Structures are given as structure tokens and as C-alpha cells.
Amino acid sequence: MRILHTSDWHLGQNFYSKSRAAEHQAFLDWLLETAPISPGGCDYCRG
């Protein structure tokens, strides 16, 4: 079993008045590339 652990995504949160949307999208793009999408390939745990 493989586990990819991430935590504290804070999706939709701004940093003071600065949008973090591009940062969040880059992370989600990376996550989809990194995590195999296959039965039994990876279990996810997020904080």
C-alpha cells in the first residue's frame, strides 16, 4: 500500500489581499501528476 500524505491545503484562502488561486492550482496539478490513479495504487490522507 502506498500513502501520499498532504496537509493543510487551505484551498480558497487568500494571503492578506493576495489571491492564492494560482498556487493552489499548481499544487493540484502536481498532485494529479504525482498520484497514480489506479485501483490499489495509492491511498490519500489529507489534513
More confident residue, 11 or 2: 11
Residue 24 lies in a domain: yes
Residue 14 lies in a domain: no
Instruction: Give the range of the structural domain holding residue 26, as residue numbers without chain letter.
Output: 3-8+19-46
Q: How far is CA 23 from CA 9, 29, 37, 44, in A?
A: 11, 10, 22, 20
More confident residue, 43 or 30: 30
Full-model pTM? 0.63
Q: How confident is the model at residue 18 (pLDDT cuts 50, 70, 90)?
A: very high
Residue 31 lies in a domain: yes
SS3 category, 25: helix
Residue 29 lies in a domain: yes
pLDDT reading at 45 higher than 60 = no
Query: Cβ distance 46 to 28 under 8 Å?
Result: no
Write out the H or E segment, with its range, that includes residue 5.
strand 3-6
Q: How confident is the model at residue 40 (pLDDT cuts 50, 70, 90)?
A: low
Into how many domains does the chain fold?
A: 1
Query: Cβ distance 43 to 1 under 8 Å?
Result: yes
